[in-house]
Amino acid sequence: MRIGFVEPHLSRDGAVRRMVEFANRLTDRGHHVTFYVPDDQSLTCTWLPMRAGVRPLPDGFDDELDVVCFHHERQWHLLDRFTRARRRVHYVDHGQRRSRDALTAPVDLQLATSNWTADRVEEVTGHRPVVMTGGVDRATFHPFDLPKRHRILCTGDRERPWKGTDTVKEAGRILGIPVAGFGRKELTEAALGRTYAAAEVFAVGSWFEGFGQPGLEALACGVPLVTTDNGGCREYAVDGETALLVPPKDAPAMAGALRRLLDDRALAATLVANGLEVVARDFDWDERTDALAEVLDGIVADPSPAPIGGRPEPHPSPELSIVTLQWNGLGYTQRMVESVRAHTDVPYELIVIDNGSTWEAASYAESAADHVVLNGENRGFAAGMNQGLEMAKGDYVAFCNNDIVVPPGWARALLETARSRPRAGIVVPAFTAARNLNTVRSEPGTSVEPLPPFSSAPSAVVYVMPTDLIRSLGGWSERYAVASGEDLDLAFSVWVNDLDIVFDSRVLIDHVGKVTASGLDDWRGLWLRNRQLFLDIWGGDGEVPQLDTCDPERFERNRQTARAAAGWMRRFFAERDKRLPMVPTSRARAVAGQVAQRARPAWDVVWPMLPPKVAQSIRRRTKRLGGLH
């Protein structure tokens, strides 16, 4: 068979280990196996022998393959690029960190790393994958006659909190025993096996695991195991027979089990003997490879397999059109889309506008969105959002940055607020980070209230608006270049027409902040031009949208208020520009704070117009002066 494995990298990782071990043995059996990795990744596996071929992803799209297989959830969309692959396989790696997009991607076969993982997939899709566990290399991981250098050993992985290293460390503190970890020591495989064998007890603290390779390797090295009941470990860890199991996140229970094994050597010896028997019986790599080859050969030989999964159709009558814009930042867009798919609780459609991203980001947008626009170049924020607005079918539209994660229930709550307040022109949630500190929260709040007009306009991280209203206002103003000023302009357009911007603090959006603008080559110059354009329009007689529903007298009164606010802004910036260079020095930061304090009446309006680095400098300085309130 000609088999292709799509991988995110070839660095040290349990899932990568499984695929390399399989690939080496499949290659030894005469199959032609190739790994395809992103073109910014190394083509060399430095920590395991590699007998299969390795190619950059784009180079393999035209390869003739019998099977193309992926396991990393966020690479599901790449299978569409392998147009000459006969069969597609998803090897589900994890039962907990699961992406609906990945699980519903159309494939010919789903495999799962454990029964627990298969159960979790079945809960989501209604289809149970074929369970295909990995193995352990007993030439490397086996009992050694070594002195015990560590009373308690764990992986020491602290970069991923769900690995539960803190639980194991806390258990060690309860016992008064140091806990060792091999962590980021980049041990060779032989050295790793000897490290396991030099421990009296090996501890796993994971909250969840698709399989859990380190626990199995410790058993193979003849080391008694204490592990959380994390799901995937159940393939080899049976409480009281091959290991002691404790609940996740329970340091006292972990400490008790560790103490029990350290004190009861007879029990430890029994668990070791049983563990070695299970490893030899169920986890021989050659036997596991034979099983995988048989399953793959069967799916290749089947002339008409029943496809699994399929992309969901967009709702024919959505209440909400969710529009997001991406310019590269693939990882952010993936997290945003996954959260939208999992947590949007009203009928919706997802529209992704790609502004000339790299091929991989554009490929994801094309596969993941209900509707997509692929621009050949970066057309800017306003133009991109207007493209999404043009496609929107929902009664309401949510304009969203791509660097957010939405919480459960977010859409229903914001739409209820929009519908219950006839004057609501824009509804905004709270954010974990934003340029406008008035909308920043660490926890959801309870208040729903209009923001003071012509004050500090909320950042356009998420704007929920009636679709007809934003169209009547002419959409986002494309007079502003690329990405700054459009949100303030739209906010003024809403206020001048006697409508409210309503802040719903009950919904808290996780926001990274300034991902797109940070990649612009000349953000200072763009900001200066957009700033001047805004001041010219709103501080003078520039054309602004006027709705038929707004009383002419109220509109004119609001227009005068807008001119006054823009005038304050103009005076603030004139003072600031005289005393503060564009690249802040320590002296300039001090001046920034002083200027900000003296211009307090204009500050709330000015803040959204500041460049990110200048705003951060001022924030740091004014914090010492008592802050801006």
Give the domain CATH number at 120: 3.40.50.2000
CA 529 to chain centre: 33
More confident residue, 590 or 426: 426
pLDDT at 497: 97
Strand, coil or helix: 543: coil
In this structure, are 398 and 491 located in the same domain?
yes
Could you tell me if residue 315 is inside a domain? no
In this structure, are 190 and 110 located in the same domain?
no
Neighbours of 524 (CB within 10 A): 14
Neighbours of 372 (CB within 10 A): 18
Residue that terminates a domain, selected from 265, 282, 299 = 282
In this structure, are 401 and 431 located in the same domain?
yes
In this structure, are 430 and 368 located in the same domain?
yes
Whether 394 and 320 have beta carbons less than 8 Å apart is answered as yes
Residue that terminates a domain, selected from 563, 598, 616 = 563
More confident residue, 481 or 426: 426
In this structure, are 341 and 277 located in the same domain?
no
**Please, where are the H alpha helices in 580-611?**
586-598, 600-606
For range 42-46, the mean pLDDT: 94
More confident residue, 195 or 514: 195
Residue 520 above 70 pLDDT? no
Tell me the two tokens of residue 450.
């209009």
Range of the domain at 157: 150-282
Lowest mean pLDDT among 24-38, 290-304, 451-465, 511-525: 511-525
Could you tell me if residue 568 is inside a domain? no
Whether 312 and 341 have beta carbons less than 8 Å apart is answered as no
In this structure, are 243 and 164 located in the same domain?
yes
Query: Pick from 133, 87, 79: which is nearest to 111 by CA?
Result: 133
Could you tell me if residue 596 is inside a domain? no
Could you tell me if residue 597 is inside a domain? no
pLDDT at 595: 41
Residue 526 above 90 pLDDT? no
Side-chain-facing half-sphere of 480: CA atoms under 13 Å = 27
d(CA 275, CA 223): 9
What CATH code is carried by the domain that includes residue 548? 3.90.550.10
Share of the chain above pLDDT 70, in %: 88
pLDDT-derived band at 98, boundaries 50, 70, 90: low
pLDDT in tens, 351-406: 999 999 999 999 999 999 999 999 999 998 999 999 999 999 999 999 999 999 99
Lowest mean pLDDT among 277-281, 289-293, 505-509, 613-617: 613-617
For range 83-89, the mean pLDDT: 95
Could you tell me if residue 99 is inside a domain? yes
In this structure, are 236 and 116 located in the same domain?
no
pLDDT in tens, 554-613: 999 999 999 999 888 888 777 766 665 554 444 444 444 444 444 444 444 444 555 455
In this structure, are 518 and 394 located in the same domain?
yes
- Longest distance between any two alpha carbons in the chain, whole Å: 91
Could you tell me if residue 214 is inside a domain? yes
In this structure, are 422 and 545 located in the same domain?
yes
In this structure, are 440 and 402 located in the same domain?
yes
How many independent structural domains does the chain possess? 3
Mean pLDDT of the chain: 88
Could you tell me if residue 569 is inside a domain? no
For range 25-49, the mean pLDDT: 95
Residue that terminates a domain, selected from 504, 530, 563 = 563
Tell me the two tokens of residue 543.
């054309």
Q: In which element (H, E) is residue 526 found?
A: helix 523-539
pLDDT in tens, 319-348: 999 999 999 999 999 999 999 999 999 999
Could you tell me if residue 481 is inside a domain? yes
pLDDT at 627: 35
In this structure, are 385 and 273 located in the same domain?
no
Tell me the Ramachandran region of residue 513: left when phi exceeds 0, alpha when psi lies from -120 to 50, beta otherwise: left
* CA 504 to each of CA 247, 406, 431, 451, 487: distance values in angstroms, whole numbers, following the listed order: 38, 14, 10, 10, 18
pLDDT at 593: 46
For range 479-489, the mean pLDDT: 79
In this structure, are 237 and 329 located in the same domain?
no
**3-class SS string, 348-366:** EEEEEEEECCCHHHHHHHH
**Please, where are the H alpha helices in 302-402?**
330-343, 359-368, 381-391
Share of the chain above pLDDT 90, in %: 73
